[in-house]
């Protein structure tokens, strides 16, 4: 008698099972239908953060822009192009540059030639990006290589060389995975 439809317990059990499977499938379908919309906004946080903080640039951009500015200045030194060198400097540094650039100790002095210049290190510093270089200077038959440290900062939407000083950093060892 347990197989009889009158009992109902057996039918009730099957119906509940099927109902549970149907509800699970419906929940899964609903979740999969909603998931793309929920994920639509994911991944845009980095762009939004950069837009909210216009004064802060990603480290990679800061290093690249600093390297570009210093390389342009070094190229100007080698070419003895005072105007090109001046254009890489921040406005406050341009006045001092104008007074000293072609003087006896200036970067663009006539009595020596910059025969080589290499960027050896770029890193974040207290006042901006610090770019270490080695400058090879020739004067007559004498040749000397000296380290120079440039500080590059952001000025509005652009980057510029804020200062130059003797010395530099030892390059950081590269990490290999």
Quote the pLDDT of residue 128.
93
Domain boundaries, the chain: 1-42, 56-166
User: SS3 of 85, please?
Assistant: helix
pLDDT band at 49 (very low <50, low <70, confident <90, very high): very low
Q: Are 106 and 119 in contact, with CB atoms under 8 Å apart?
A: no
Q: What is each CA distance from 18 to 2, 14, 23, 82, in whole angstroms?
A: 20, 6, 9, 85
Say whether pLDDT at 50 is over 80: no
Q: Are 169 and 121 in contact, with CB atoms under 8 Å apart?
A: yes
Quote the pLDDT of residue 99.
87
- The fraction of the chain above a pLDDT of 70, given in percent, is 64
Q: Are 136 and 115 in contact, with CB atoms under 8 Å apart?
A: yes
Say whether pLDDT at 177 is over 70: no
Mean pLDDT score, 86-101 = 92
Q: Write the class of the CATH domain 56-166.
A: alpha beta
Higher pLDDT, 81 or 170: 81
CA 71 to chain centre: 17
User: SS3 of 151, please?
Assistant: strand
Q: Are 115 and 143 in contact, with CB atoms under 8 Å apart?
A: yes
Q: Which two tokens stand for residue 176?
A: 């290999």
Mean pLDDT score, 23-41 = 54
**Of residues 120, 121, 131, 127, the one with CA closest to residue 154:** 127
Quote the pLDDT of residue 39.
47
In 8-141, where do the E strands start and end? Answer: 113-124, 129-139
In this structure, is the dihedral angle defined by the CA atoms of residues 54, 60, 65 and 66, taken in order, positive or negative?
positive
Q: Are 171 and 120 in contact, with CB atoms under 8 Å apart?
A: yes
Quote the pLDDT of residue 86.
96
Rounded Cα–Cα distance for residues 89 and 163 (Å): 8
Say whether pLDDT at 29 is over 70: no
* Element containing residue 152 per DSSP (H, E): strand 142-155
């Amino acid at each position: 008698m347990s197989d009889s439809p009158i009992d109902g317990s057996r039918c009730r059990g099957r119906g509940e099972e099927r109902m549970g499977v149907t509800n699970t499938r419906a929940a899964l379908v609903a979740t999969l239908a909603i998931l793309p919309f929920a994920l639509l906004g994911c991944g845009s946080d980095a762009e939004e953060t950069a837009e909210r903080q216009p004064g802060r640039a990603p480290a990679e951009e800061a290093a690249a822009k600093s390297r570009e500015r210093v390389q342009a200045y070094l190229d100007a030194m080698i070419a003895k192009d005072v105007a090109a060198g001046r254009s890489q400097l921040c406005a406050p540094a341009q006045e001092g540059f104008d007074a000293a650039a072609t003087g006896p100790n200036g970067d663009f002095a006539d009595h020596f030639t910059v025969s080589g210049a290499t960027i050896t290190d770029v890193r974040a510093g207290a006042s901006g990006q610090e770019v270490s270089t080695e400058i090879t200077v020739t004067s007559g038959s004498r040749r000397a290589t000296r380290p120079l440290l440039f500080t590059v900062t952001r000025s509005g939407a652009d980057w510029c060389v804020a200062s130059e000083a003797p010395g530099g950093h030892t390059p950081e060892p590269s990490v290999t995975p």
